[in-house]
Amino acid sequence: MMQQKRVYIETYGCQMNEHDSERMLRLLESFHYLETKDPKQADLILINTCSVREKPEHKVYSALGRFKRLKEKRRTIIGVAGCVAQQEGERLLDRIPYLDMVIGTHAIPALPQLLGKIEVSRERVCQTSFDQNGKYLEAILPEKPVAKVKSYVTIMQGCDHFCSYCIVPYVRGREKSRSSREIIGEVKHLAEMGVKEACLLGQNVNGYGKGSEKELSFPKLLQRINEIDGIERIRFTTSHPKDLSDELIHVFSELKKLCEHIHLPFQSGSDRILKRMNRGYTKESYLEKIDRLKKTCPAIAVTADAIVGFPGEEEEDFKQTLNLMGTVQFDDLFSFKYSPRKRTHAAQFPDQVEENVKKDRLSILQNIQKEITLQKNQALEGNVEEVLVEGQSKQSDRDVTGRTRSNKIVNFEGDLSLVGKLVPVRITRAYPHSLRGESVRSSVFQFRVSEL
Ligand code: SAM
Ligand code: SF4
């Protein structure tokens, strides 16, 4: 009988990275690896990272530093996966003598073979070539019912947009969509395994099917997923404002399972900066789309990404960003200081903004958003919201935690029998990052939902 081994995975970065870690785990399970949360128990340590900004990129080196002692003690196999692996390739092996494996963004399906080579000959391996056949996009499905209520489903990967600041097209390759048949098959399988919520993933989901006339459009794909029994909720991320079509906006009023939430990064409120970012839209056209979304689906929650301190950003440009935030009133905002990335155009721009200016702008923006988010959450006090229960709350054994359709975290008293259920919850208290509530009778909930 094969000896059971243990794998520890540390993940940094976006949902795409989280999902890739999940896929690696599933793949390794069929090769006698079980997950451990303790790196000291692991036979294999994988660090899966993002290189979109400098900060997550640095984390890979500090994590490797932490695991060096383990390597010396237990001969643990250590690998780096994700965007940093793709970007640095062999250079990582040169720089870190105790690193065994570099797994590029298209190399996940090759993980067992790479591991086999190391186990047999202690050879150090690196695979970072882009796969033209799309094998890297194939589903790695769970074989037994999963403990998770929600699951990511990759529908496309890569990006053709080449925003002037962004490394993604270089480390994830060009846009490539999976076939709708495979995606639908995967969602059906996940539903049979107990998953209730499917979150469709891609760098630019509204570019889904581009270049393949025979494929379903993204709105049509959503319609087909909406018909799958067992799936109660559908979400998707991320949308590019330029490609957000009226057809897609319309499905928010049509599909019952599609949650009332969109993540629509705007990056900057200044047309001058948007142009230099190569975003392909203006502040006005962005606001028009938000308007159409809110008219079509008044309950929609809107979140976004923004960058401050992009090269050449003046006080007036920054004010335009704050002005856009004031107009839209985002439910939440992920904001970043511009981080120059090797190989991108913006890294070569001569008018880089000083670090202390970036820092001050970020803090101003985040303080304003904190207030808006709290006000948005407070507006829900007294409402009855449908909450999909995900598990035990971190704060108390007596509480469970879940999310509203608008993607807000709600904690309320309840036991684990509620996990995977849609529970009507009255919101009693709003906090900056979550809501407190109490479960209410379903008759009340039915009444409120039919009113929506
Ligand atoms: N495709 C999505 C879009 O265009 O909206 C975004 C995907 S990107 C991986 C996630 C976010 O990281 C971006 O929306 C942007 O705000 C941020 N980001 C990307 N490159 C960055 C950089 N060089 N510096 C700071 N933030 C960056
Ligand atoms: Fe990066 Fe722009 Fe592509 Fe988003 S659309 S992944 S920001 S290049």
Q: What percentage of the chain exceeds 90 in pLDDT?
A: 78
Ligand 2 atom closest to 52 (CA): 1
Confidence of residue 261 (pLDDT cuts 50, 70, 90): very high
What's the CA-to-centroid distance between 196 and ligand 1, angstroms? 29
Check if 307 has its Cβ closer than 6 Å to any atom of ligand 1: yes
pLDDT score of 330 more than 90: yes
Q: Which atom of ligand 1 is nearest to the CA of 339?
A: 24
What CA–CA distance (Å, rounded) separates 231 from 148? 13
User: If you measure from the C-alpha of residue 406 to the centroid of ligand 2, how many angstroms do you get, rounded to a whole number?
Assistant: 24
Å from CA of 62 to ligand 1 middle: 23
- Average pLDDT of the chain to the nearest whole number: 92
For residue 168, how far is its CA from the centre of ligand 1 (angstroms)?
8
- Is 172 close to ligand 1, i.e. is its CB under 6 Å away? no
Per-residue pLDDT band at 448 (split at 50, 70, 90):
very low
d(CA 100, CA 347): 31
Q: Does pTM surpass 0.85?
A: yes
Question: CA 272, CA 402: separation in Å to the nearest integer?
Answer: 41
Q: What percent of the chain has pLDDT over 70?
A: 96
Q: Is 204 in the pocket of ligand 2 (CB under 6 A)?
A: yes
- Whether the per-residue pLDDT at 280 is higher than 90: the answer is yes
Pocket test for ligand 1, best of 16, 166, 353 (most atoms within 8 A of CB): 166
Give the pLDDT band (50/70/90) at residue 450. Answer: very low
Tens digit of each residue's pLDDT (9 = 90 or more) over 192-213: 999 999 999 999 998 898 877 7
- Quick one: which atom of ligand 2 is closest to the CA of 172? 6
What pLDDT was estimated at residue 132? Answer: 77
CA distance 165 to 57: 15
The full DSSP string for 18-52 is HHHHHHHHHHHHTTTEEE-S-GGG-SEEEEEE--S
Q: What's the confidence (pLDDT) of residue 444?
A: 44
Site to probe by mutation for ligand 2, drawn from 168, 268, 341 as the one with most ligand atoms within 8 Å of Cβ, is: 168
Residue 75: predicted pLDDT: 86
pLDDT over 60 (residue 446) = no
Q: Which atom of ligand 1 is nearest to the CA of 279?
A: 4
CA-based nearest residue to 196, from 229, 233, 171, 251: 233
Which helix (H) or strand (E) element contains residue 218? helix 218-226
Which atom, in ligand 2's list, is nearest to the CA of 159? Answer: 3
C-alpha 159 to ligand 1 mean position (Å): 12
Confidence of residue 77 (pLDDT cuts 50, 70, 90): very high
Tell me, using a 6 A CB cutoff, whether residue 53 lines ligand 1. Answer: yes
CB 100 within 8 A of CB 79: yes
Ligand 2 contact via 161 beta carbon (within 6 Å): yes
